[in-house]
A and B are shown apart, each in its own frame.
Chain A
Amino acid sequence: MAVIRENNILETIRMIDEECLDIRTVTMGISLLDCADTDIDVSCRKIKEKIRNKAKDLVKTCRDISKEYGIPIVNCRISVTPIALLASVSGGDCKKYAIALDEAAKETGVNFIGGYSALVQKGTTPGDELLMNSIPEALACTDLVCSSVNIGSTKAGINMDAVRTMGRIVREAAELTKDNNCFGAAKLVVFCNAVEDNPFMAGAFHGISEPDCVLNVGVSGPGVVREAVRQAGPKASMNEIAEIIKKTAFKITRMGQLVGTEASRRLGIPFGIVDLSLAPTPAVGDSVARILEEIGLEQVGGPGTTACLAMLNDAVKKGGVMASSSVGGLSGAFIPVSEDQGMIDAAANGTLCLEKLEAMTAVCSVGLDMIVLPEDTSAETISAIIADEAAIGMINNKTTACRLIPAIGKQAGDTLEFGGLLGYGPVMPVRNVSPKVMIDRGGRIPAPMHSLKN
């Protein structure tokens, strides 16, 4: 056993107590392929049984580990096989699946269940259609169900018919939950190049190439990275800063690896991956934006932001990759506007605009995340924003996503409150020039040249 030095012990305690270091999520992936049945009611019953059976000890195990190791585990979650696959077998009213998932999730005590999903990057099956059209109602009548739709990939191109549909679905999801802060849209992610082992919500689903049951872990620690950068002082060069971020990411990831392997050992299921994402929360000091500002920007969103974010994202990966036996998921820095106090401040005073966020998504992990749009944003405009974001993902061989929330009843400058981990978001102005003709064309944007690697 290695000799642990006193200052290392104090450093770890400080990270947890003062710098918001935590395990953001332990997510159990459960395959539901064996629950498919031509009778939707039978299928739903099997789903509930399987989830209940696999995840019954998940929350308790996480609580025990959290206590014994002294590390907060913020969320326990479940991801399941994209439900569109089951809907393809059963047909019928897809909402029943959402209700079954919601009930099963509540029984196990997890705080979100993801996988009300369809993968339609190349084309749409009748099951996919059923599922996509049921999303707004499914999200309105459940509490814990999260939905995602993959509309593009580097290999397949972008399914513009699905993009058009999803613009409408995002709007409807917000409209149906307008009395609940448009919360439906906050549980819906539209992806390009979605990954199959992502532990983070709302975009988590259990891919079909995954084992029957697996445990994935998402770590977090923007506050720790920021403090390390602060200690380096303003004279450190950018490569020195990158080096510091790498070392910090290593430590954070090792903690995730330890918790993940221990949890999977206790639950008797295989350990999947550690997702190296730096995930912010609205808590003071738990902000990715503040890291960028600590590197030397007056405020996030100004010139220099994209360069700092690119370095941060890369350094986090380099540090984390050696610390874990298996890295996966989205692995990068998240920039959800409403969940990050630094982003909220910059968006509220106009320094951070939608277009700058789009540029930032080209170099960081996900995409336009938790962005609140004015009520008058049309379905076509939402589709066009999704298409732009998907194009960045498709061309750059990376995951991009949109979680856009049209704030029904609100205009640019207003604020939409979600509460909890989802925070609050200033309504961001959108350039309202119509992309209607382009969106109405539908069809597909063909896969780019570099998809032809064989």
Chain B
Amino acid sequence: MRAVISTVGKDRPGILAFVATRCAEKNINIVDVTQKVLQDLFTMIMIVEIPDDIGDFSEIITEIENAGKQEGLQIHVMHEEIFDAMHTV
């Protein structure tokens, strides 16, 4: 299953590494990354492959999002299907 991880926060070194490490810990494979820094704002979108045997996906989401919160980052993990549904005919 594919998911989209979006990260927004004040720019500083190590944000990409932080999110990538959280993914690696869960055996989540990163397929694609785009990131930008506009003024001081860091925005990153990752497309990731969630392994089928990951267990409770909701819990993983909560874990990653909360980890982000503690670092002052707004992280969303969302199933990729929602974007397909909304933006393709």
Chain B associates with chain A: yes
B81 proximity list for chain A (CB < 8 A): 69, 258
Q: Are B83 and A8 in contact (CB under 8 A)?
A: yes
Helix, strand, loop or mixed for chain A's interface? Answer: helix
Does residue A9 face the partner (Cβ distance < 8 Å to B)?
yes
Any A CB within 8 A of the CB of B34:
yes
Task: Tell yes or no: B62 within 8 A of A by CB.
Answer: yes
If over half of B's interface residues share one DSSP class (helix, strand or loop), that class is named, otherwise mixed; here it is: mixed
A10 engages B2 (CB within 8 Å): no
Indicate whether B84 reaches chain A with its CB closer than 8 angstroms. Answer: yes
What 1/0 mask marks residues of chain B from 46 to 89 whose CB sits below 8 Å from any chain A CB? 01000000000110011000000000000011111111111111
Other-chain contact of B87, A4, A13, A63, A68 (Cβ < 8 Å): A4
Q: For the complex, is B4 an interface residue (Cβ under 8 Å from A)?
A: yes
Interface: B30 (CB within 8 A) = no
B89 CB contacts on chain A under 8 angstroms: 322
Using A13-B78, A68-B61, A257-B85 as known contacts, list a sample of 7 further A-B pairs with CB atoms less than 8 Å apart, ordered by residue number in A: A12-B78, A67-B61, A69-B82, A71-B82, A251-B87, A254-B85, A255-B85
Partner of B86 from the list A10, A12, A63, A322 (CB cut-off 8 Å) is A12
Quick check: is A2 within 8 A (CB to CB) of the other chain?
yes
Q: Any chain A CB within 8 A of the CB of B45?
A: yes
Counting CB contacts under 8 A, is A179 at the interface?
no
Interface residue A64 (Cβ < 8 Å from any Cβ of B): yes
Asked whether, in the complex, the Cβ of B85 is within 8 Å of the Cβ of A4, the reply is no
Nearest chain B CB to A121 CB, angstrom units = 38
Residues of A within 8 A of B61 (CB): 67-68
- Within A1-16, the residues touching B (CB, 8 Å) are 1-2, 4-6, 8-13
Is A409 among interface residues, defined by CB-CB distance under 8 A? no
Shortest A324–chain B CB gap in Å is 11
* Residue pair A10, B82 in contact (C-beta under 8 Å): no
Check B84–A13 contact: CB distance below 8 A.
no
A70 within 8 Å of B (CB atoms): yes
| A236–B87 alpha-carbon span in the complex (Å) | 23
In the A-B complex, the 5 residue pairs with the closest CB atoms: A70-B78, A67-B58, A8-B87, A258-B85, A254-B85
* Chain A residues with CB under 8 A of B79: 68-70
Nearest CB in chain A to that of B81: its residue: A258
CA distance A12 to B6 in the complex (A): 11
Band of interface residues on B: 20 to 34
Closest to A251 in B: B86
Question: Separation in Å of the A348 CB from the closest CB of chain B?
Answer: 36
The CA of A5 and the CA of B81, in the complex, are separated in Å by 13
Q: In angstroms, how far is the closest chain A Cβ from the Cβ of B13? A: 22
Bound-state CA distance A12–B88 (Å) is: 13
Give complex CA distance A273, B1 in Å: 26
* Complex contacts, A2 vs chain B, CB 8 Å: 84, 87-88
0/1 interface trace, chain A 245-271, chain B, CB 8 Å (1 if under)? 000000100110110000000000000
Q: Which residues of A contact B82 (CB under 8 A)?
A: 12, 69-71, 255, 258
The residue in chain A whose Cβ has the minimal distance to the Cβ of B58 is A67
Residue numbers in A under 8 Å from B84 (CB-CB): 1-2, 4
B58 engages A9 (CB within 8 Å)? no
Q: Which residues of A contact B87 (CB under 8 A)?
A: 2, 4-5, 8, 11-12, 251
| B-contacting residues, A45-87, CB 8 Å | 63-64, 67-71
Query: Cα distance A64–B62 when bound, in Å?
Result: 11
Q: Which residues of A contact B85 (CB under 8 A)?
A: 254-255, 257-258
30 contacts between A and B (CB under 8 A): A1-B80, A2-B87, A2-B88, A4-B47, A8-B87, A9-B6, A10-B43, A12-B82, A12-B83, A12-B86, A13-B6, A13-B76, A67-B58, A67-B61, A67-B62, A68-B57, A68-B61, A68-B78, A68-B79, A69-B78, A69-B79, A69-B81, A70-B77, A70-B78, A251-B86, A255-B82, A258-B81, A258-B82, A258-B85, A322-B89
